[in-house]
Amino acid sequence: MNEFYIKSEIKESIATVTFFHPKSNSFPSIQLQNLIFEFEKLGLDNNVKIIVLQSEGKDVFCAGASFDELIQIKDFEKAKEFFMGFANLLITMRNCPKFIIGNIQGKVVGGGVGIISACDYAIALENASIRLSELSIGIGPFVIEPAISRKIGIQSFSELTLHPKEWKNANWVFEKGIYNKVYNNVTDLEKEVHNFSESLSKYSLDAMKYLKQIFWQGTENWETEMPKRAAMSGELLLTDYTQNVLKEIKS
């Protein structure tokens, strides 16, 4: 598989959204936009009550932002626009009236940690360690912080972001509150994702929609706050420090 994609399948009111990118399931801008479109479409589909989000492969769930695209960005507006892609995805996941269930298999890095934090419920395999690597390349997880801190609090977020080269294992992530359940084999994980999604799909969509609004209370400022955060990342991306680190990574 050489081409990235996002695909969805609807079966008995459950939509399964799968994303893939050959570079460790990283996200270029177009991939972010495609996932936003998919959530918006499924949110309006009367045949869908629950959305399951997963990625292709078992080793890396998501490597975050596409370094291939980041290294090509040379002006501030484009840099800000790139990071707004992640911001808009998180806002779309929040606004989607359907519960989004994360099926998390493999490691999660950077922006991917924001995505799993924006899931309404996350079920993970024990290999699903996480890491916020942004500080190590001269930027910070500014855009995704609100989604992560909403789940684990600012102290645990600080622990993650100040150790950008340290992996936190799935049990740590479970204890902090991003993962709701962790399994040690794929069979049990897939069974739980299926059973949990199926059980939720039997309930009132209106009731679940109102519950989701309650779950996301306190995020009303995201539309105004996120552009400021994206600007921070965009400014830092263009510094000599970050440009040099990215060149070293690519070489």
pLDDT tens digit sequence for 162-201: 999 999 999 999 999 999 999 999 999 999 999 999 999 9
Mean pLDDT of 147-167: 97
For range 206-228, the mean pLDDT: 97
Q: pLDDT confidence of 26, banded at 50, 70, 90?
A: very high
For 56, how many CA atoms within 13 A lie in the half-sphere containing its CB?
Answer: 17
Q: What pLDDT, on the 0 to 100 scale, is given for residue 194?
A: 98
pLDDT reported for residue 250: 74
Distance CA 105, CA 125 (A): 5
The pLDDT, as a whole number, for residue 58 is 87
Q: Residue 1 above 70 pLDDT?
A: no
Four-point Cα dihedral 31, 143, 41, 216, nearest 10: 150
Domains of the chain: 5-185 (3.90.226.10)
pLDDT over 80 (residue 2)? no
How far lies 42's CA from each of 74, 84, 136, 203, 204, in Å? 35, 21, 36, 17, 17
Distance CA 105, CA 7 (A): 17
pLDDT at residue 240 tops 60: yes
Kindly report which listed range (66-70, 172-176, 212-216) carries the lowest average pLDDT score. 66-70
Query: What value does the mean pLDDT of the chain take?
Result: 96
Q: At CA 61, angle to CA 40 and CA 115, rounded to 5?
A: 40
Per-residue model confidence (pLDDT) at position 81? 97
The candidate with the shortest Cα–Cα distance to 116, out of 84, 81, 141, 80, is 141
Mean pLDDT, to the nearest integer, of 60-75? Answer: 94
Q: What is the pLDDT of residue 247?
A: 86
pLDDT of residue 113 exceeding 60, the answer is yes
The per-residue pLDDT for 172 is: 98
